Structures are given as C-alpha cells and as structure tokens.
Structure 1
C-alpha cells in the first residue's frame, strides 16, 4: 500500500517562526493523518515570494513554480487561512489567482484536464465570531478549488471561530480540545483518504476536449422558434431596470453599437436570450428576431457550409481562389510531434478555429518556439495551423452590404515617450483616457492597458524598467499580440486605404449573402497595393467587430452601422413584419 502524501499550505499573514493559530488548528488535523501513516509536508506562503499574476511563472524571483510542483506531487491538498472580517487573507487570494493560470496551461493534451483535476481538497480556517460572513468565505474558497478541478470529500473543512464572549484566539482558548474541532478533523481525514482510494482505483477520465466539442455542436445545431419566446425583456439605459427590463450593459459593446444605430431609425430592442445572443427589434408593432447582427440568422439558415467556413485553412483557400495574396500554408497538424523539422522561418502558429487572437503565435523563429506554441494550441484541444509570417501592421477592413465601410489599424498596447515621464507614469496616463474599460468588461470597445508577464519580459529584453524615461516620440509596446482586453489601440485609416484593397474586399464579399464581412490585412503600407509591398489577406469573418470603427480611440469615428439599417429599411416589407420572423 502506498501511503498518501498530504500538503498543507498555510496562508497566514505571519512569517515563520511566528506562532500561527491556523497552523495550530492544522496540527489537530495532521494528528489524524499521521495515525493513518500519511506523509505530511507544509509551507507558509508568507515565507515565500509568490508574485501577483495569473500565469504559471511571473519571472525572476517568483516562488510559485516551486509551490505548484509540491501541490502536483501531493495526493491531498489542505489549504489553511485565517478569516479576517469574513474574508480570506490576501496571501490566500494571491495563491488562488496564480492557480487559475493552471486552467489554461499544462492541461492534459488528451483529455484537456487541468493539472489539479482530481486532486483531493480540504480546508482549515480560523476566525472571529461565526457571525461575520465566515461561511461565505469558506464556500467561495471551496468553489474556487472546485473550478480548478479539485474534488471535495464530504465535510471537507475544519473551522474554529472565537466565541463571542472572549478575546482569546485558538491557542489561548485551547481550541485543540474542542469536541467539534477534533470530530471535524477526524471526519475530514477519513473521508479524504477514502475518496483518494476510490480515485486511485478509478481516476476521473472525463474528456474536457470532447465535452467542449459536443457543446459547440449542440449550440451550432440549435434553432430558434419564435413560439418559444416568453416575455422577452426590454433593453433599457435606466440605472434601475424594472422586472421586465434589462440593462444595456448586459450586452456586448459591438451588439449595443448596432442597436444604437437601429434606435435612431425608431426601433426598440428586447433580449430573447443573452446566452444565445438573440434579440428582437420592434417598431410600431412590427419587427424581426436576429442573432448578434441583423441578417445573421437568415445567412446561417441559407448557408449550409457555415461551420466549415470557420476553419482558417478553408478561408485562406477561398481567398487564394479569388486571386488575393495570402500567407503560405504549411498545413494543419493534430499534434506538435507531427510538425516537420525543416519548415522555413519565421512562421505563425494558430488554432485552426478560434478568434480574438487567442493562442496565436506570430514570428516564431526557432524550433523551440514553434514546439512550445504548438503544444499550447494542442493543449487547448484545437488543431494546429502553420503558415508563413507576414511582416507589417495589422488592419481590419469592413464591408457591409457589399459596400466598403471603413478600415482601422490595430496596434498592441503601447506607451509613447515624451522625454519627461517614466514608463510607469505613461502607463497610468494612458489608462485615464476616456472610454477605456476594465480588462474583463464586455460593454466597452477600448480596454485599459495591462501590465503582465509579457510586459515585464519586454521591459527586461529592452533593458528598461518601469522607471525608464522614454525619448520623445519613442514607442514602447507592452504587449506582443493585439488583444482588446490588454489595451490595444484602434486607429481609423478609412481614407488612407488603397482603393485596390477595398475593391478586392467588396468583390470577395459577393461570394456570400451576408450583411457584414471583416477582412484582416497585414501590410507595411496601407496606401499601396498589397502586391507592391508583400502584404496579404490573413483572414475574414462574418461577424466583425463593427464597434472598432464606431468607437476607435484614434482618428475619425465612422457610423458604419447605419449601412446595416439602410439595408433593413430598403427591405422593410420583407424583414419588418407582424410575424417577427428570424432575420
């Protein structure tokens, strides 16, 4: 028999060797584990340097990788934390935030399970009187570790709360003699070991990749019947919506931007399903139902090959058939080990399907970089697509109803030197710009800049620090990729786009009966034909972010959504009806 290994992580705010009440409570639990022959290890986060962040390694001086290694080696993980005013400690919160990074990194390639999946978890906590919301903190912490993949045995926590009639803490009150403490400790130990034995005999085999693909198929196969809509809620800009209303902030900025243009034509909007992003547009007792953008429902219904169109290799093939410049494709691969060693560099690795630059790795120059990128894509459950790297800036060209609507340049988050301010000061100054929302806010186009591991690495590579003063006009990019949530810029270039590029986009759009089509173009000079400067079309999609043009943070804002409603008005007899048909 292999005796279980137990790791106790004490998130007290006290450094060793200072006495910790949380540690004293843990010793009551450890006593029963020792009786079962378990191997016990413990550590205090306050003795370590666990840097803030959400990645597996935040760089120089970060002790989290060593902590994670110990967690992985343990069969049972017990977390300890004091509860202060009903909240877990900052040490505990930081550890959990770092563990969240395990959800998207180092997942099992075959099943998609994160590295804590199936880990047996227990909690030890001490606090003030049990009337300060302690139960919420306990439930919240257990829920967090459940999301990380851990499994909880019944009665998986041991707690002690200071009696209301005393100021004594756990040690002074001799809480170790409390019947409730020792009973809870014994039950936790026996249940956690029993659960571990069951998992050893039959580990969790859940395939999260397969579950994701099944869910996608079910979602894509779902149809909308108007008869199933029961009391859709009206979208309102009121600060306090009524029971039959819903705040406009619950819809994404791109969807709301289209609605605002429709409201100027007299339409009112209701939510049919936020999850399915289905809405109802109504004017004078007539209207239609649509998904994300008007016209997308009818397009999906008519276009049976829509799902195949989401594959990037198929998109590039159609662009090439049109005679448009595209990157050289090196094929698709199910696994990183299948990739040949002799591919020319630089190269781009990306998922065969996906959006928002997630897991896209440009300008890979070494086999090691390529393998690391490919392994990340493979771990996400997607097929790896490889193509040649095109140098230049990134542009989005928008076509609506087969008309050129606008062009924006997309730039990674950056600061521009003025010869006086430090990078830190410039960073904070940029985040004060009007219209920048928080990183995870959906009802915004422009997000605040984020300083993360990538930013720190770029500083170190340049020999800079946050206190460096950039020369006037010097641009320093805090991110490598263009990701909205990290603070990218959007610059209007509609009047600078060479007419041949716009004409190519419009001509290609006639392949599809869709109202909206966005093209990703990479080129060193948007004012010249792509063939002259080695530029290329990188992709197109049917639901482009129209709000980039309406709400760009640099240059002229373009009222592109008016073109959508121009089409609706021109075909109102067919679209805007008393039947409220899907459109």
Structure 2
C-alpha cells in the first residue's frame, strides 16, 4: 500500500481495528470494528457520497457552487475558442489553463500571458479533459487545508519545484539529479516533469535546458506547487487565521464532503484575504505529518475508538 493508505491503516491497527486489504494496486482496503465496516481508498471512503465526488471531479462545478455560497474564488470561464481565450487573457492580464477534471497538477499551465503559450496550454489541458477552464491568475501563497468531519485539522504551504546551481551542471542535469533524489525519498510519488511546461518556466527566467546554472543560484522550474510535480511542503497549521479555517469548514459543508483537501491562494496565512481554487476528495493525509490527520480520520470513521 502507498504511504497515503498506510498511514491510515497503521493508525487503525493501533486501535484494534481490523484491516482487510481488498486491492493493493488500487490502495483499496476495508476497516472493521464491531458491527461497523468502512471501505476506503486512501482517504476516500464510503462516507463521501457520489454527489460530492461528482462536484469535486468537475472543477467548474466546484467553482460555481463555492461562488454561489459566498466563498471567494477567482474568475473563471469554460474555454470556447481562441478568440474568447485571448480576450480573457488581455482582460485578466494572466491566465491559468486547466483541465476541468483531473488531479496532481496534470495538464495545468500557470501564468499564461502570450498567445503562443496559450495555444500550447490549451493543447496540454485537452489531453486530460474534454472541457478546459480559463481561470484568472491570482498571485499568492499556495495553501492546502485539510478538513475532516467538517472541522479544520491541518494546513501546509506548497512551494513550486526548484533547483540550485553548482556552477558545472546544466539545468537538465540538475533536474534529473533532483528527480533521482525525489524518487528515492518519496517512493516515486514526486518528481519534476521534464516537458514543454517546465521548459516554458525556465525560458521565462532567461535560461534553457543546456545552460549551466551559476553556483548556489536558485531557479524555480515549475509554476504549479503540487507535491507530485516536485514541490516542497511546509506545515503552517498554527499560522492559519480563523477566517481561513472557517472558510474551509464552510466549503466542506457546501460541497457536502466530510474529508477534503482545499487549495487556497492567500497573501498571508494569518490574514483574511483568500481565493479557493480547487477541492480534492482524496487528499494525501501523509503530507501533513506531524499534524494528527490520521488520528482525526479514524476518529471520524470510528468515534468509539477515539483516544
């Protein structure tokens, strides 16, 4: 089982809960205690209804529901044609192009300002979804908040992947070297993509794949801050304001999903300004250690075993 399932299985076992592995490849398992049993796939369980799954799988639908509830979201439109996309890019100054469904940052291009980049971004997103979203690019720090049983539990800041120059290796060599380390430390869960999007980000900083990065110079190589694309994560649970906590809890109620990872962009973790950009129905709780996400997850499923 991967780390996202294993952390929950380990916590269940400490409470005398029986674990039955249903399908290891899919990280599917059943937890049994007394007369109760719950089927789980990592942090997704039978407690999450089909309607909540449907809403979270469609980023446009998630956006509309959050907006109608009074929660703050960036401006967004469904892609129709290039004329429309160019008009929005000029109106909003910069766009995020993303597939309407999908996860782990696949097919997302951030901070698109030029026509050629826009065409490539739409092509990339179309590989993952029939429908493509055009979203206003909002500057801010990337914050993932975990809500379990509709209560705030933990938060991390997610930072985009970067490399540090040694004065001798090319950027391509440095990315490959970092990927080798990431694969070893994360079991293959995280690595920097070597693709046209990474090349675009490098080019924006006036570098190419074959340039040698000066000694100790840091270079951001991704715009997305996803852990799976080589991003780093920092626990910021204690820094998150009451406003952000309550917004996350309200979002979980509005989406009718008891266990959810909500992605915010904020200028300051202790402030009141925010936009919510996505909701993840199967958040990776292992990414939030040392916060008690596994404990709160098992508390939610089997409150009678609460320590």
TM-score range, shorter chain: 0.7 to 0.9
Find the partner of 2:243 among 500, 508, 532.
500
CA contact (8 A) 2:52 2:255 kept: no
The aligned counterpart of 2:280 is 541
The aligned counterpart of 2:99 is 351
The aligned counterpart of 2:264 is 521
Distance 2:52 2:199 in 1: 44
Alpha-carbon distance, 1:510 to partner: 2.5
Distance 2:215 2:7 in 1: 38
CA contact (8 A) 1:336 1:375 kept: no
Q: Give the secondary-structure state (helix, strand or coil) at the position aligned to 2:135.
A: strand
The aligned counterpart of 1:396 is 144
Q: Give the secondary-structure state (helix, strand or coil) at the position aligned to 1:298.
A: coil
Distance 1:351 1:378 in 2: 7
Give a deviation string over 1:138-184, Cα, whole Å, max 9, x none: xxxxxxxxxxxxxxxxxxxxxxxxxxxxxxxxxxxxxxxxxxxxxxx
Alignment of 1:318-467 (within 5 A): 318-329=65-76, 331-333=77-79, 336-337=81-82, 339-343=84-88, 344=91, 345-415=93-163, 421-422=166-167, 424=169, 428=177, 436-437=185-186, 441-442=188-189, 447=190, 461-463=205-207, 465-467=211-213
Do the aligned partners of residues 318 and 571 (structure 1) sit closer, same or farther apart at CA in structure 2, a change above 3 Å counting?
Answer: farther
Give a deviation string over 1:411-468, Cα, whole Å, max 9, x none: 1211357xxx447498658965897235xx25xxxx3556666656655643483352
Matched pairs, number: 295
Alpha-carbon distance, 1:390 to partner: 0.5
Do the aligned partners of residues 288 and 294 (structure 1) sit closer, same or farther apart at CA in structure 2, a change above 3 Å counting?
Answer: farther
Alpha-carbon distance, 1:502 to partner: 0.7
Find the partner of 2:39 among 290, 298, 305.
290
Alpha-carbon distance, 1:567 to partner: 2.3
CA contact (8 A) 1:295 1:514 kept: no
1:559 has 2:292 as partner = yes
Distance 2:200 2:72 in 1: 34
CA contact (8 A) 1:431 1:449 kept: no
Q: Structure 2 unaligned runs (5+)? A: none
1:267 has 2:17 as partner = yes
Q: Give the secondary-structure state (helix, strand or coil) at the position aligned to 2:251.
A: helix
RMSD of aligned residue pairs (Cα, Å): 3.1
Do the aligned partners of residues 504 and 561 (structure 1) sit closer, same or farther apart at CA in structure 2, a change above 3 Å counting?
Answer: same
CA contact (8 A) 1:519 1:540 kept: yes
Do the aligned partners of residues 326 and 511 (structure 1) sit closer, same or farther apart at CA in structure 2, a change above 3 Å counting?
Answer: closer
1:470 has 2:216 as partner = yes
Distance 1:497 1:385 in 2: 29
CA contact (8 A) 2:95 2:110 kept: yes
Do the aligned partners of residues 423 and 485 (structure 1) sit closer, same or farther apart at CA in structure 2, a change above 3 Å counting?
Answer: farther
Structure with bigger RCO (C-alpha 8 Å, 6+ apart): 2
Distance 2:233 2:123 in 1: 31
Give a deviation string over 1:445-504, Cα, whole Å, max 9, x none: xx3556666656655643483352135xxx321323234344210111111112210111
Alpha-carbon distance, 1:520 to partner: 0.4
Alpha-carbon distance, 1:281 to partner: 1.9
1:569 has 2:302 as partner = yes
Alpha-carbon distance, 1:353 to partner: 1.3
Alpha-carbon distance, 1:328 to partner: 0.8
CA contact (8 A) 1:514 1:542 kept: yes
Q: Give the secondary-structure state (helix, strand or coil) at the position aligned to 1:314.
A: helix
TM-score, L = length of structure 1: 0.45
CA contact (8 A) 1:449 1:487 kept: yes
Distance 1:280 1:558 in 2: 24
Q: Structure 1 unaligned runs (5+)? A: 1-250, 551-556, 573-583
